[in-house]
Structure 1
Amino acid sequence: MSELALERRRLRRRVADDNRKRAPRACDRCKARKSRCIESTPGTCRRCEAKELTCIYDDRRQSPDHTDASPLPTAARQAAARKGTTPGDDNISINSYQTDRIMWPRFLSRLREAFSLDVQSTPEAHDMMAMQASISGPRSLLPAELLRLRRAIDAFPPRPVADYLLAVCIRHGTDSFFYFDQAHFLHEIDEFYNDQSSPLRGDIGFIGLALAAFALGSQWTPMERPSEGPTPSLAGDHDPGTLFHSHLKTLVPDLIERPCLRNIQAFYIMGVYLMPTSAVGSSYVYIGLALRKALAFDLHQSADEASIDEREREVRNRLWWSIWSLERITALKLNRARSVDIEHVTVPLPTPMASLDQGDSRIFDNVQHQIAMARLVKILDGVTDVGFVFLPSPRWFTLTFVYRTRPSATAVRRLEASLKDWKHSLPLQFKLANINTRDSSYRAVLHLYLNYYYAWIAMGKVSVVTVVRDHLRQNLSGQGPANTPALDAAVRDVSYACTRAASKILRLFEMLNNTGNITRFSFTDFQGCSIATIVTLLSGIQGRDSGYEGRVTFGLDCLRKMAAGNMTAKVGVRFVEALQTIADEAVMKLRRAEHDHLQVQHEVGLDSGAAEYTRWAQWLSRAENELQSLGSPLTMATNVAQPPVMLGAPPTTDNSNLPMTPSVRDASMWDHPTNDSLLPPPLAPSAAAPALSTFNARPIFEHSNNNGGSGEEFLPSSLYGDDQNFLMGLTGLDVLDFSELTTPL
């Protein structure tokens, strides 16, 4: 017997198939996913049968006694012999997903083609593929990892509770994003609870994903609480998802080490769960971790591997765009830097797929919401490219600007037009008036509009500050508008659009309040209401109409309701209240200055009037005496040539240089015909939709070409300032995480 035959005989499996821990063979799909393949019927495994997919087995590995026609190179076989296993034990195959992602074979093939050589598979390429695939192959869990895994499994709720939490998570927590394939994940949950020997019980990625979904679902259970009838209430205002999150944290090191799609999903949902309590802390880190692992998993690149079917490819695309969209819009709201340049992303936007979106097991079909959100965030991503960075100046009324980019008027017009086109392209079913207020789509669509209006605020929030400071400078310095440089009209237009967007956001929250959809633990809701209330407070320094107090009071009431049980949110409410005090003090100071100015003008007017009256009385006395001495008016008129009497110039009646009262100056802004009066009587749910189509902000650059310019002129430096400390403090975005205040130094 030859040496090669002896080695094959020594490495041949001697364990019966019934006693083996690994499956005797696996279909191509299970091999690609590194999942345990269990045949339910000859030629079909359980997973493919449940999903109604074609199950393909490699006949070359059908029997343990089968010898490979092309054995692995000697180096690979010797390495396997030293480990006491066979290459088949590690489930290594050149058709597996891990080896398909290896670039060496394709690189070597292209290199041979470049050198005019025949493109063929070489032993060296096969050897490298097997060695590299073994690096990322599955490994057994360590004792400490097994202990953490068992404790996490013990934290799983009973099956009925698990089904309820997952349903709540999908209905209320998914919003306009994608977390997982609903049908596939629910099938795995069913397998986990019904099969005690299921390989899912040893899958850390699945356990982490399930715990994250349970935690997020627990967070949204208040939306499912019956309005009538006796219901048990939780003790205090604590977060009910903490039970699952505490066990999930122990699995984080294991989830980081293993490259798996479920691990990415677990980190992503964990970041969503932590957003209300730690938006700039743990949540931002976990979402960033999910983004980094997605990049490492090449989710941002178009997958052309033959082992990935269309359904899995669509799952990868949706997961990538959801992670990127949430991370990017959160970074914008928290003034964080861009993590991924959109130019490096090659995967297409999500597309509807019947096998993924339809079926009895689908709880919430939101693929259109995902598409709309991804398109909107791509537009928002360009906001940071059109701006300046301004530095604080020692002088209170001076702004020092440093160019980051020099945006032209055309660039910002394009951004403004893109936002309007996005809103006009929304499907007809996204009209809030046509959506049941208890439907899962209601809040998701409302959040799309909220983020749309936030885009206008993001473009104009610095202009609001600039206009307010200019107003204070003119009225408190005593110089008046004539003696101070006038702001560019574009700055005022952007400021006006920002103020209008804030009013629209508060209108959306009025709808949420009237329909009973305001709840705790929603970062999007709290941040949107907070920024809208703050912009209203700032713009109110210039002028306040009759509805100002109602808008501010309503916004603060909503913030207090959403902050229940959340110390971070309560600190945010205190910040907005402190800003309200500052705005009121500024208005009082303006009114005192205006009153003092009017008082001075009145006194000057009295003094001037007395002098004029005295002069008139003296002239009248002289005229009467002369008339009596002449005796005839005609004689006086024909014979006496009176010199002209200089009465002096009367006091000016032109008040153009006097400061106008805020209520008069800004009446046109607050009384705009499309500015709906906030806080009308409670509306019926069917009539609670805002006039979303009426928000047509005045073009930012409608005054830009009055001087005959070409339209490519650069914007004034006060249009897009972005000082981090000043704006973060002014908008309240930096108060969304004050965990350090509750811990000792």
Structure 2
Amino acid sequence: MATASDRNVSQRQRVAYLERIVRQYVGDVDLNLESLKALSQTPETDQKHEVSMAQADDCESSVSETSVGVNETCDILPLENGNIAHYSGEFSHWNFSQRIRKYMDILPKEQTQDSVSSWKDFYRTDELQSPTAATTALSSLPPRLIANFLLRCFLKHAQTNYFYVEETWVEDKLELCYTKPDVLSRGDVGIVCILFAILAIGTQYAYIESDREDNGYTGPDTDISSFTEDAVGVMFYQQASRLLPEVLALGSLECVQACLLIAVYLLPIDAAGLSYSYLNIAINVSIQNGMHRRYSRDDLDTRVREIRNRVWWTTYTIERRISIFHGRPMSIRPVDVDADMPSEQSHICPWTTITVPCILATLRLNEFLRKVWNEIDLLKGAPKHKAIMRRLTSLHGDLVAWWSDLSTDLLLQEESSQPERYSLQLKLEYCLVRMFCGRCFIFQHDATGATPEQHSAISPSAASDVTHPRSVLVRDCVKAAFEAIETCRHIHNTIGLARASYTEFSSCRAALLIITTQCLQTKCHTFRYALRDGLSMLKHMASGSRLAHVEASLVDRFEQVIARLDQAATMDKKGPSDYDKFKEWETEWRTDSVFVSTDSPRVFQGLSADKGAVLIDQISPDQSDELGSSSEPQLYASGDVAFFPEGPDDWTTFFGADFLMQLDDGIRGNRRD
């Protein structure tokens, strides 16, 4: 027999089920006593019509005490096997129209069936696409052997810490373009654009595969145009960019990858300009497909879902890095992103040229970078700097602790004679975040109004309070700069620096700028050596790119200024040496000596005119015979001035007829003594 407690539980369940049924018919309303009473007294024929009024009355009665809750979610509708998806965010026109459509589904079918069935969904326009754009572009593909080589260069050297394409997928698509080009349609324009972008990137790394020991590098002063393969890369890039209108009109996942790859090609050429623009295009097409949101439906293939997540996080991360390092606004707020992170389960979609821990660690590092930037950005106008500095120092501590706990499999490559590029680039990104944490505090006089001379007294190396947040951040910033130079040197001596690698170039450049500030503050040979060594590597990576060459030249000018400052400081401290005095006298002597022609009478150095000094222009012809056989200076066979005679006859002429006789008597007298 049921007890009173059991009956109460059953009653509560019954009420809950009834409320759920009512909400299915009248919508999401608060089923209080007033609303239920109004619904029960409404005639059946007018019940549907009066529901909205009851909901409005209910909301109005409760708004004074509690806030109005709105149950709104985004909508992601997959099209064409998930390659294209339609996304509509919360509170959009589309979402509101779909709510109306769902509401009408509960109405009697005999009243709405014809109208609902006649609705036609519209997601993408196809009127602007060319049916032959993809197949026409295939005529610009290189021979198959060349395409395979450039693809290998891309997969081996470019796709390291980020995911751009699946290796087996792109190999199959390349095979299709060469063997069955007729099967391609206008929906495959994204694939063709991807292939041309990959070929363009491959030309940037092709020189690393050279058998020459210098890998095509001829020294620090290599001409910008020395890499002739860049012209081929530009041709491939232009082919990819010509397909951009078709790519944007299609708006598929592959189109996101195409825009991303074009941006990657442009990173070493114009990171803050063209590359940033293409990254924003890739972000916008990603949002159009809802790739920035978590996909909660079960109607999408697991592999496609994983590819969406990988491509999104790569695009989003690179765009944030460029925005932070080059002072550009970010295209999307972090609060609007809730997509799943890439999965560590390799069986879903195999990882080939890159490892799961590597890309996850890279994404984590860039998340630290975003948080650090956010705190530093708050310092611009926040009155409570101490609280922000505490949070920034805490973030820095979390970063260092996270790195120390990172898997040793990724860090063992640092000392290897044949390291993997992904491991060393991960270390460089770690150094970049640490440098970014502290470099804005190096020139403290910018905020305090101190002069550079006063600033040298509060440099981190001489700071009295070494535990101060600023001192901690600046000290580790300088340490990270040295580690970045050491890592670049290890790459240069083993697998070779990649001139097209944005990570390698930007980390070396950032480190040199920080070391330059230390050279201005302290006179330490360690800083000078690191500056010269890093500058040599930076010039190596800058060869072939005009923008990179300009950036390297700027650091070179800094180094020259520092060298002149060091030289001037040394001269002021020690004064001119005896050798410097000798060289100064030598210069004056050469200017005033007899073999320099002059229009005005000059006096031999060391004799004053009032003591019988011989004026050159006053020597008579008879007197000139006593000085030599000619008034012109004698010359050696080499053409140099003969300061001393070469033979005995010349000595007699130079000193007089009895010179040799007196010299011989003097020598014999010395022997007798």
1:131-179 deviation line (CA, Å, top 9, x unaligned): 324xx1655844xx73x54552111122222222212211111121111
Q: Which residue of 2 aligns with 1:418?
A: 398
2:285 maps to 293
Are 1:540 and 1:548, in contact at CA under 8 Å, matched by a contact in 2?
Answer: yes
> Residue 499 of structure 2: SS of its match in structure 1?
coil
Which residue of structure 2 lines up, in the alignment, with residue 332 of structure 1? 324
2-structure distance, mates of 1:223, 1:355: 32
- 1:244 is aligned, of 236, 249, 252, to 236
| Partner amino acid, structure 1, of 2:331 | S
TM-score for both structures, normalised by structure 2: 0.63
Q: How does 1:257-656 map onto structure 2 within 5 Å? A: 257-358=249-350, 363-387=352-376, 402-403=381-382, 406=385, 407-433=387-413, 438=418, 442-466=420-444, 473=451, 475=453, 489-584=468-563
Q: Which amino acid aligns with 2:470?
A: V
Deviations 1:173-206 (A, max 9, x none): 1121111222222222222222242125872111
1:347 Cα deviation after fit: 1.0
Separation in 2, partners of 1:318, 1:213: 18
% identity of equivalent residues: 20
Alignment-mate amino acid for residue 252 of structure 1: L
Work out whether residues 125 and 249 of structure 2, in 8 Å CA contact, stay in contact via their aligned partners in 1: no
Q: Which has the larger radius of gyration?
A: 2
Q: From 108, 131, 153, give the equivalent of 2:121.
A: 131
Residue of structure 2 equivalent to 1:166: 151
> Do the aligned partners of residues 140 and 402 (structure 1) sit closer, same or farther apart at CA in structure 2, a change above 3 Å counting?
closer
Higher relative contact order (CA 8 A, sep 6+): 1
Counterparts in 2 of 1:429 and 1:127: CA distance versus 1, 3 Å? farther
Cα–Cα, structure 1 residues 461 and 106, in superposed 2: closer, same or farther, change >3 Å?
Answer: closer
Q: Residue 87 of structure 2 contacts residue 290 of structure 2 at CA under 8 Å; is this kept in 1?
A: no
- Cα deviation per residue 1:218-238 (whole Å; 9 max; x = unaligned)? 211112112479999998324
Query: Which one of 198, 202, 205 corresponds to residue 220 of structure 1?
Result: 205
Residue 254 of structure 1: SS of its match in structure 2?
helix
**Distance in 2 between the 1:140 and 1:468 partners?**
54
Partner residue in 1 for 2:45:
none
Offset, 1:270: 0.5
Shift of 1:309: 1.0
Cα distance change on mapping 1:313 and 1:473 into 2, 3 Å: same
Which residue of 2 is the match for residue 71 of structure 1?
none
Tell me the distance in 2 between the aligned counterparts of 1:319 and 1:93: 17
Aligned residue for 1:299, secondary structure, equals coil
Aligned to 1:175: 160
- Kept in 2: contact 1:560–1:573 (CA 8 A): yes
Residues 287 and 323, structure 1, Cα contact 8 Å, conserved in 2: yes
Query: How many angstroms does 1:491 deviate by?
Result: 2.3
**Aligned 8 A contact 2:134 2:185 in 1:** no
Q: Secondary structure at the match of 1:540?
A: helix
Mapped to 2, the partners of 1:223 and 1:118 lie a distance apart of: 68
Q: C-alpha separation between the residues in 2 aligned to 1:322 and 1:353?
A: 18
Opposite residue 559 of structure 1, the aligned amino acid is: L
Note closer, same or farther for the CA distance 1:119–1:584 as it changes in structure 2 (3 Å cut).
Answer: farther
Q: 1:96-120 CA distances to partner (integer Å, 9 max, x unpaired)?
A: 7678757899867766888995799
* 1:347 counterpart letter in structure 2: A
Offset, 1:553: 0.9
| Change over 3 Å in CA distance of 1:380–1:126 after alignment to 2 | farther
Residue 422 (structure 1) shift: 2.8
CA distance in 2, matches of 1:220, 1:313: 31
User: Cα offset for 1:588?
Assistant: 6.5
**Distance apart, 1:272 and its partner CA:** 0.4
1-side partners of 2:485 and 2:557: how far apart? 19
Shift of 1:332: 1.4
Give the match's secondary structure for 2:327: coil
Name the structure 2 match of 1:35. none
TM-superposed deviation, 1:124:
4.6
Contact kept? 1:212, 1:245, Cα under 8 Å: yes
AA aligned to 2:422 is: A
CA contact (8 A) 1:468 1:541 kept: no
Q: Report if aligned partners of 1:100, 1:305 keep a CA contact under 8 Å in 2.
A: no
1:55 aligns with: none
Contact 1:350 1:371 in 2 (8 A): yes
Q: Which residue of 1 aligns with 2:655?
A: none
CA contact (8 A) 1:467 1:491 kept: no
Runs of 5+ in structure 2 lacking a partner?
Answer: 1-76, 219-223, 576-673
Distance 2:369 2:98 in 1: 42
Which whole-Å CA distance do the structure 2 matches of 1:513 and 1:581 have between them?
24
Query: Secondary structure at 2:310's aligned position in 1?
Result: helix
Q: Say if 2:138 and 2:192, in contact at 8 Å, map to a contact too.
A: yes
- Consecutive unaligned residues of structure 1, counting only runs of 5 or more, are 1-91, 391-400, 597-745
Secondary structure in 2 aligned to 1:300? coil
- State the Cα RMSD in Å: 4.0
- CA deviation vs aligned residue, 1:283-314 (integer Å, no higher than 9, x gap): 11111111111112111011234331111100
* Structure with the larger helix share: 2
| 1:589–1:331 distance in 2 versus 1, CA, 3 Å | farther
Aligned CA distance change for structure 1 residues 99 and 560 (closer, same or farther; 3 Å): closer
Rounded to whole Å, the distance in 2 between the matches of 1:405 and 1:291 is 35
Q: Which amino acid is 1:456 matched to?
A: R
Please give the alpha-carbon distance, in whole angstroms, between the structure 2 residues aligned to 1:474 and 1:94: 62
Q: Could you say if the C-alpha distance between residues 474 and 245 of structure 1 is closer, same or farther in structure 2, counting changes exceeding 3 Å?
A: closer
